[in-house]
Structure 1
Amino acid sequence: MGFDKEASSSSQALRLPLPREDTPLLGKPRPLSSQPKTFANVFIAIVGAGVLGLPYAFKRTGWLMSLLMLFSVAALTYHCMMLLVITRRKLESAHGFSKIASFGDLGFTVCGSIGRIVVDIMMVLSQAGFCVSYLIFIGNTVANLFNSGSDRTVGAYLSSKIWGISAKSFCIWGSLPFQLGLNSIKTLTHLAPLSIFADVVDLGAMGVVMIDDVSIIWKNGVEVQAFGGLSVFFYGLGVAVYAFEGVGMVLHLESETKDKSKFGKILAIAMAFIALMYGGFGLLGYLAFGGNTRDIITANMGKGLISTLVQLGLCINLFFTFPLMMHPVYEIVERRLSGGRYCIWLRWLLVLLVSLIALLVPNFGDFLSLVGSSVCCGLGFVLPALFHLLVCKEEMSWKGWSVDMGIIVLGLVLGVSGTWYALVEIFSTKV
């Protein structure tokens, strides 16, 4: 839908079939979900490759500080997700809006065209950021597998050469033609099952890594620290926010739940389960390798067949998840620049841009922190609290108003500070 059409009344616009950021990730509208299926959908929407960077975050920030941050971010993310659900219910019941399908729709309803523009920009940056991290993971993992020598340092595997160029660059450039082909597909319905495959492989990889961690801890424990100091606080926070990012899907997940009165309870249980899983994975990885923990924990595994299969499996599933995660970006960009029409050159340009950024960023963990601190803080904390405050302020007590304002201020402070810290870390890294 064009920008001029969005300027019409909110109620009229929201009755039209607006493009939705979340549709490609879960495919066509499905029958209403039971409670177990809703739990599974929440799990799929949140858990991703970011979990593999958690042990490194534990190394940087300390195991106790990391656990406290993970559980705090999980609780705050849950609260902000429910703020979005409450805000939509309020608008649909009290103001008569017939369909608020996505985060962008809600932004348009509350703040008009500027609200949709802000949400669109943050959705583009976050989704593209996820895809950049995928390419960094794939490139660094292949470089690690290619380096079969005795030198297992980060500098060694990043400097491995294939045909005169770094193994990481070779892998990213080599995958570019295939990604251009995959991302040229107009509809990703046939690729949607791969998102489930990706989570199955993630869980399998996590299980293998945790078993490996336990065996290493049993044989020879290493010295670890509980607190890494305030200087790395924002780094750890950014990684934690990234790991729980899924707020863009919550409205769609709630709308397809059969018993909506129990959605909050299901979401709380799912978030608690994911937080415990994240905490256990990060803690075991750090306890196993201590100061030698790599930015991608699979790089700490040996060169055996199981380790190689786990790493290659993760690379393959992220390779095919890439177009699924980029599709919301295409919908937004095509709506803005080509009137909502399919545009292959725009898609190819975006894939090339994401690939170039991945080539320039050396460290997987630092990039997780950057994306988590910047756009994920805005999407996950600032906007949900702001929209809730604007819609419900007349009936809120001073306590509720203070909580929303506190979340907005906290999100802005953490976002700005964390982004600055992550950028300093990235540009100070020597490849």
Structure 2
Amino acid sequence: MEATGSSLTPLIRRRGTAGEATVAQTLGNIVVSIVGTGVLGLPYAFRVAGWLAGSLGVAVAGASTYFCMLLLIQCRDRFEEHNDEEIDDATHIQSYGDLGAKAFGTRGRYLTEFLVLISQAGGAVAYLVFIGQNLSSLFANTNHSLISPSIFIFLLLLPLELSLSFIRSLSSIAPFSVFADTCNILAMAIVIKEDFQLFDRFPRERIAFNGTWGLPYAGGVAVFCFEGFSMTLSLEASMADKKKYRWVLLLAFIAITLIYVSFGIFGYLAYGDETKDIITLNLPNNLSAIATKVGLCIALAFTFPIMMHPIYEIVEMKLALIGWFQKLRCNARGERLVVQGARMLVLLILSITASSIPGFGSFISLVGSTLCALLSFVLPATFHLLLMGSNLKIWQRAVDYIILLIGLVFAGYGTYDALRDHITSS
């Protein structure tokens, strides 16, 4: 969800694909697939939880996500080794839904695909909220925003994305993902530069641990920032030497975790209680900050169709199962009109949802603590238990059950906390 380029490939792809990527190329691709706009919400999460609690939350989220990615690799490897002699294109595991089907049958496929669909939609909504709030901040005075973020979403973003939804080939849009990641790095660099300039006014009373209730919020944001499952096995398959993939993945996670922790601490120390849920909103409206915000918004607007690709794919796949739509197969123009209409309807729903989101930080924490937790922890642990079967040792089963239990509790509490905040604010 988090990565702009992660949506180009299914979660699991055939092992037979020839790999040519070097260690350095794979390392770079892993970083690109994970680091996204969620990182700009980390300083606010550190403000809510405290700098020490936030740091621990990011570290635990990173370690847990890395471990669960390895569980998925083990599941796929074990299944394909077991069926190596009789496997064909129809029996290969090629998607997260395929794993769900192997574990729980048709219902498992539907549940898994539903969670992927909703979580991906959550990431797309986060894009719209981020762009809308940053563009709105460009027209703000000292007291309030002159233009509502919703205006930008409906009058600027929605028409643009409706136009881009006509493009079927993602290869023409994919280069913008590189621009988006460059802008992300530039934004982080400018924010850290501003942070260092504020070092002399750092008060000593910055909070290290802001109570137990702040931990789930920071954990949700951290999980959202680390969500990159859709590239896990595709990147492994792309490597020339697949045996090194686990170590490359580990190196990438260590580096990303250190960057996240440093960025979160510096942002919180610089602005303290004034830290906003998108740290770029704390930047002054000088030339460099404006250029960064505009660059981020443009890049994300053009990589938004890549984020939407899995949603379009699932919707169109379900359409193909409907009887009246199947009759349109003999009418290519009618089929295209229905498919395009479905895409436009999805975009309209997501835009309406984004316009009703009060805060970027609260929203990504909700998505991270519920949907991302289910996809990143609960399902991998469950699939590992069921698909590996008797091959698991007692301690491996115990670890899977612990991950499963913690993931369910985390998702349940995240939902409760979000509903409680919504009811309180209402």
TM-score, structure 1 normalization: 0.88
Unaligned runs of 5+ in 2: 1-5, 327-334
Secondary structure of 1:230's match? coil
* Equivalent position of 1:71 in the other structure: 59
The match for 1:346 among 324, 342, 345 is: 342
The match for 1:185 among 167, 190, 197 is: 167
Kindly provide the amino acid, as one letter, of the partner of residue 138 in structure 1.
I
Q: Distance in 2 between matches of 1:327 and 1:224?
A: 42
Residue 95 of structure 1: how far off its partner (Å)? 2.5
Shift in alpha-carbon separation, 1:426–1:132, aligned structure 2, 3 A: farther
Residue 256 of structure 1: how far off its partner (Å)? 1.6
Secondary structure of 2:406's match? helix
Which segment drifts farther, 29-38 or 72-81?
29-38
Residue 111 of structure 1: how far off its partner (Å)? 2.8
The match for 1:303 among 248, 268, 285 is: 285
Q: Distance in 2 between matches of 1:407 and 1:273?
A: 23
Residue 22 of structure 1: how far off its partner (Å)? 4.5
Instruction: Write out per-residue CA displacement over residues 314-367 of structure 1, whole angstroms, 9 at most, x where no aligned residue.
Output: 111111121110011110111012349761011101101110111111100000
Instruction: Write out per-residue CA displacement over residues 66-86 of structure 1, whole angstroms, 9 at most, x where no aligned residue.
Output: 000100110000000000001
Q: Say whether residues 1:405 and 2:401 are aligned partners.
A: yes
* Equivalent position of 2:134 in the other structure: 141
Instruction: Write out per-residue CA displacement over residues 205-231 of structure 1, whole angstroms, 9 at most, x where no aligned residue.
Output: 111111111111135546310011112
Task: Determine if contact 1:136/1:358 at 8 Å carries over to the other structure.
Answer: yes
Unaligned runs of 5+ in 1: 1-19, 162-166
* Equivalent position of 2:149 in the other structure: 168
Q: Distance in 2 between matches of 1:106 and 1:25?
A: 10
* Equivalent position of 1:150 in the other structure: 142
Instruction: Write out per-residue CA displacement over residues 103-160 of structure 1, whole angstroms, 9 at most, x where no aligned residue.
Output: 223223333322221221111111111110111111111221111x222xxxx23xx3
* Equivalent position of 2:34 in the other structure: 46
* Equivalent position of 1:57 in the other structure: 45
RMSD over aligned Cα atoms: 2.1
Q: Distance in 2 between matches of 1:284 and 1:309?
A: 22
Q: Distance in 2 between matches of 1:275 and 1:286?
A: 17
The match for 1:283 among 259, 265, 269 is: 265
Q: Say whether residues 1:100 and 2:97 are aligned partners.
A: no
Q: Distance in 2 between matches of 1:50 and 1:405?
A: 29
Kindly provide the amino acid, as one letter, of the partner of residue 348 in structure 1.
M
Percent of aligned pairs with the same residue?
41
Q: Distance in 1 between matches of 2:366 and 2:351?
A: 17
Shift in alpha-carbon separation, 1:30–1:367, aligned structure 2, 3 A: farther
TM-score, structure 2 normalization: 0.89
Q: What pairs with 1:190-229 in structure 2 (closer than 5 Å)?
A: 190-221=172-203, 223-229=205-211
Secondary structure of 2:207's match? coil
Instruction: Write out per-residue CA displacement over residues 381-418 of structure 1, whole angstroms, 9 at most, x where no aligned residue.
Output: 01111111111120212111111111111111100101
Task: Determine if contact 2:11/2:233 at 8 Å carries over to the other structure.
Answer: no
Kindly provide the amino acid, as one letter, of the partner of residue 56 in structure 1.
Y
Q: Distance in 2 between matches of 1:100 and 1:21?
A: 17
* Equivalent position of 1:36 in the other structure: 24
Kindly provide the amino acid, as one letter, of the partner of residue 387 in structure 1.
F
